Amino acid sequence: MSVTMDDAVAAETVLSRVDGEGGRLVVRGLDLEDLVAGHGFEATAALLWGAVDPGLGDPAAVATRLGAARARAFGRVPAILAATDGLAPIDVLRAGVAALSADGDRAAVLLATAAMPVLLAATARRGRGLAPVAPDPALGQVADLLRMLDGAPADPARVRALEVYLVTVADHGMNASTFAARVIAATASDPLSAVAGAIGALKGPLHGGAPGPVLDMLDAVGDPADADAWIAAALARGERLMGFGHRIYRARDPRADVLKAALADLGPRDPARAALAEAVERAARTALAARYPGRRLDTNVEFYTALLLEAVGIDRTLFTPAFAVGRVLGWTAHVLEQRATGRLIRPKSHYVGPLPEGDDYRAAANG
């Protein structure tokens, strides 16, 4: 018997529905396309949090409180940077969140969310030998992130493109990092601990760590004419093609199309890069369809994440932290939702190891 949790239902949620067969994502009653068209970052935060805690349901109030929380998180930046020298950016986020404390769930949710762009920008600037830039609480979270990264106000088209990305990835059912957050929250632990654990789950290449390697793959292919041969060789070596396939979607990942459209809205980009990306996507989809005819392995969110974030000017070492800047909305909403149930998550394991000598009781379904 091979045990998986593939069909297990871990929670009831009012937050989002992932329709793997139909290739559809619904967030709080809105199709992803409508969510993205009508909601910026703060409105998405209010939509998700407000579904579980009406006190966090007003976008304008959320914007004010997130601004104040960014300033508070920035106060911890010197100590966090001192403690994380040499760590990868995603590990700076993990360690940084773990070093925060807040009074009560609401304050923790706001602080965890606000800390993500502050820590991302501070670690990125340290990597470039630059001092951190303090947040501007009057700005929206996305404009402030780019401003803290660059040290100058950001072009509105870049802000919009990044905002579309962050809203697109804000919540996605019971994905691995959200599940990790809910498991931690279910012990009645605090939201900051749940977010620290979720970051640990996100960083793996089978979850949020894929977009950086997508660009590495494009660089390795180099020339559109080499795409088919490179992809065939990678598959022959038994490698996974980053940015393709999904555990739930049996149709195309709807987030890929939303991000593809955002990329087009951003305006003309490097034509050589665009041609290479197109050739690699085509080659990968064709090769995967031929190799796994019974299983649709299509472009997932991470392929276009890589292209969009690259076009926005975010370094590939910051892609997984950028994912966390968006997904923290889902993590924290799920944490609030899980805490409200008051129920511990405690599945069983199926023991298949040795039994004590001479003991004849059966090892079925034990935990």
Of residues 292-331, those binding ligand ACO (CB under 6 A):
292, 295, 297, 300-302
- Shortest distance, position 149 Cβ to ligand ACO, whole Å: 22
Q: Which stretch binds ligand ACO (CB under 6 A): 21-29, 144-152, 182-190, 202-210?
A: 202-210
Cβ distance 162 to 294 under 8 Å?
Answer: no
3-state class of 18 per DSSP? strand
Q: Does 241 bind ligand ACO (CB under 6 A)?
A: yes
Instruction: Tell the burial category of 365 from Cβ atoms under 10 Å away from its Cβ (0-12, 13-18, 19+).
Output: exposed
Is residue 302 among the annotated active site residues? yes
Backbone angles phi, psi at 227, to 5 degrees: -60, -50
Q: Does 206 bind ligand ACO (CB under 6 A)?
A: yes
> How would you classify the pairing of strands 16-19 and 24-27?
antiparallel
Distance CA 293, CA 239 (A): 18
Of residues 208-237, those binding ligand ACO (CB under 6 A):
208, 210
Distance CA 274, CA 264 (A): 11
Binding residue for ligand ACO (CB under 6 A) from 245, 254, 321, 330?
Answer: 245
Binding residue for ligand ACO (CB under 6 A) from 240, 269, 273, 316?
Answer: 240
Q: Which stretch binds ligand ACO (CB under 6 A): 9-17, 85-93, 138-146, 244-252?
A: 244-252
Distance CA 194, CA 188 (A): 10
Q: What is the CA radius of gyration of the chain?
A: 21
Catalytic residue among 42, 163, 281, 302: 302
Q: Which stretch binds ligand ACO (CB under 6 A): 19-27, 240-248, 264-272, 274-282?
A: 240-248
- Shortest distance, position 319 Cβ to ligand ACO, whole Å: 11
Q: Does 126 bind ligand ACO (CB under 6 A)?
A: no
> How would you classify the pairing of strands 16-19 and 30-31?
unpaired
When the beta carbons of 74 and 249 are compared against ligand ACO, the nearer one is: 249
Distance CA 269, CA 274 (A): 7
When the beta carbons of 179 and 244 are compared against ligand ACO, the nearer one is: 244
Q: Which two tokens stand for residue 165?
A: 């990305």
Residues near ligand ACO (CB under 6 A) are: 206-208, 210, 240-247, 292, 295, 297, 300-302
User: Would you name the residues annotated as active-site residues?
Assistant: 246, 302
